[in-house]
Each structure stands twice: as structure tokens, then as C-alpha cells.
């Protein structure tokens, strides 16, 4: 059975930033610059999570795009940034239940898995935990570094990252490096910290 989906491929040109401190530089270009010691390196990042977890908002935040109007991803979004010999491809796959079986079509050659959780949707913690556990058992994702974004921390009802980590039994992961990062895709808080971790561990994985 083939998966027909409405796909959107966006090639994002490298933006030119005014002179600012490294801390102020947002977006994928600043992350790519940290990989200078590995020229012409292509990095494939898989962005997964349940529907409404905030994956597309996060992706747009990373690419410094407008996040005022977000629609549910029915197929997949790809953001590719090219600059100074680097290419970072981020694949955002829809998280609706009917789409999840097709996630496995995108596992090949993944360098980092980013898993996004709606920290305020406590009723779905069990469901999101089960999906993550199944991903970690996938042979094609064996050993792939995992970053869990505990998203929507801007909401008062959001569970802290430490509580989510305990509920998901992340401390039992022994076959790969992992990190959980509190963030708000809406405000951008915590996103850069998570991507810095991604850069560091992609670098280590590819050595």
C-alpha cells in the first residue's frame, strides 16, 4: 500500500543576520556554523510526536518563519538549509493515528530523532510514551541519539520535563544518548538549547 500525502518541500535560503552575539542568533544557520569542522556534512533529523504536539510550530521556529498560522500536518514538511557546505534536513511527519504507521518509511539514515510532547496534554502521556517506546525499539533507529522536547511549557498546566522523563522511563535508556529539554515552540524558549545538544551529539555520532 503506497502512502499518498500532501507534501510540502521548502528550500530555505540561508538568511543574513546582522552582527549580534552568538546567544542572540536564532534559526538553523547559527547551528550549522558550529559544524564547521565537518565540511559538506549532511544531517538528517526526524521530527516525530503525536498530533498537536507542536512539531510544525517547532520546525517553523527553527527556520525563523512566521508561526502565527499553523495547520495540522497531513503528510510531511521538510526544511532544508544550505550554507557554507552544510545541509541540515529536518523531516516533520504528521502525528495523526492514521499516519503513524508510515513513520517507518522515513527511518533510513536518520542521524537524530527529535520527539515532541505536548506537556499540557496529560491524558495522552501514556499514548505518547507508547509511541516513543516503539520508536526506540525500531532496528533502523538503533543507537540514534534522541532529543525529547517537552513542549508547551508556556502553559500553566504543563508538566515539568522531570515529571515527563520519569513517566516515560527515559532513565532506563541504555543503548543511545538522550536528552529531555523543556521548551515552548511558541515563544522559542529552550529550543536553541535543545538544538545545541543535537549538534553536539550528531557530531559525536558521525566521528
Is 196 annotated among the ligand-binding residues? no
Find which of 11-15, 37-41, 188-192, 201-205 is predicted with most confidence, using mean pLDDT.
Answer: 188-192
> Within its chain, how far is the Cα of 167 from the centroid?
20
What residues are labeled active site? 96
- 176 contacts 113 by C-beta, under 8 angstroms: no
On the 0-12 / 13-18 / 19+ scale of CB atoms within 10 A, 113 is buried
This prediction has a pTM of 0.77
Checking if the pLDDT of 6 tops 60, the result is no
Is 129 annotated among the ligand-binding residues? no
Structural domain count, the chain:
1
Count CB neighbours of 20 within 10 A.
10
For 112, list phi and psi in degrees, rounded to 5.
Answer: -145, 140
For residue 90, is it within any domain? Answer: yes
For residue 5, is it within any domain? Answer: no
For residue 160, is it within any domain? Answer: yes
- Cβ neighbours for 197, distance < 8 A, ≥ 6 positions apart: 147, 179, 181
The DSSP 8-state label assigned to residue 53 in this structure reads S
Digit-coded pLDDT (tens) for 62-87: 777 887 776 766 666 777 654 334 46
Digit-coded pLDDT (tens) for 154-182: 999 999 999 999 999 999 999 999 999 99
Average pLDDT value for the chain:
78
User: Which CATH number goes with the domain that contains 176?
Assistant: 3.40.50.300
Is 40 annotated among the ligand-binding residues? no
> Within its chain, how far is the Cα of 84 from the centroid?
22
For residue 192, is it within any domain? Answer: yes
For residue 17, is it within any domain? Answer: no
Checking if the pLDDT of 131 tops 50, the result is yes
- Cβ neighbours for 160, distance < 8 A, ≥ 6 positions apart: 119, 150, 182
For residue 131, is it within any domain? Answer: yes
Is 140 annotated among the ligand-binding residues? no
Range of the structural domain that residue 130 is part of: 28-206
On the 0-12 / 13-18 / 19+ scale of CB atoms within 10 A, 196 is middle
Name residue, grid cell 521538510. Answer: 78
Is 75 annotated among the ligand-binding residues? no
Give the pLDDT confidence score for residue 29 in this predicted structure. Answer: 63
Amino acid at each position: 500500500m503506497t502512502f499518498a500525502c500532501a507534501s510540502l518541500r521548502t528550500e530555505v535560503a540561508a538568511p543574513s543576520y546582522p552582527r549580534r552575539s552568538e546567544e542572540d542568533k536564532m534559526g538553523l544557520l547559527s547551528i550549522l556554523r558550529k559544524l564547521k569542522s565537518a565540511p559538506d556534512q549532511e544531517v538528517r533529523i526526524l521530527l516525530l510526536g503525536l498530533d498537536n504536539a507542536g512539531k510544525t510550530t517547532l520546525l517553523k521556529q527553527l527556520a525563523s518563519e512566521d508561526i502565527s498560522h499553523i495547520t495540522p500536518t497531513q503528510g510531511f514538511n521538510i526544511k532544508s538549509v544550505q550554507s557554507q557546505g552544510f545541509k541540515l534536513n529536518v523531516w516533520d511527519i504528521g502525528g495523526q493515528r492514521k499516519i503513524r504507521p508510515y513513520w517507518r518509511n522515513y527511518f533510513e539514515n536518520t542521524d537524530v530523532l527529535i520527539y515532541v510532547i505536548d506537556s499540557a496534554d496529560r491524558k495522552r502521556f501514556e499514548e505518547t510514551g507508547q509511541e516513543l517506546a516503539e520508536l526506540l525499539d525500531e532496528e533502523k533507529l538503533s543507537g540514534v541519539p534522541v532529543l525529547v522536547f517537552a513542549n508547551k511549557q508556556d502553559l500553566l498546566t504543563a508538566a515539568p520535563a522531570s515529571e515527563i522523563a520519569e513517566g516515560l522511563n527515559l532513565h532506563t535508556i541504555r543503548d543511545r544518548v538522550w536528552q529531555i529539554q523543556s521548551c515552548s515552540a511558541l515563544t522559542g524558549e529552550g529550543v536553541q538549547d535543545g538544538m545545541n545538544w543535537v549538534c553536539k551529539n550528531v557530531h559525536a555520532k558521525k566521528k
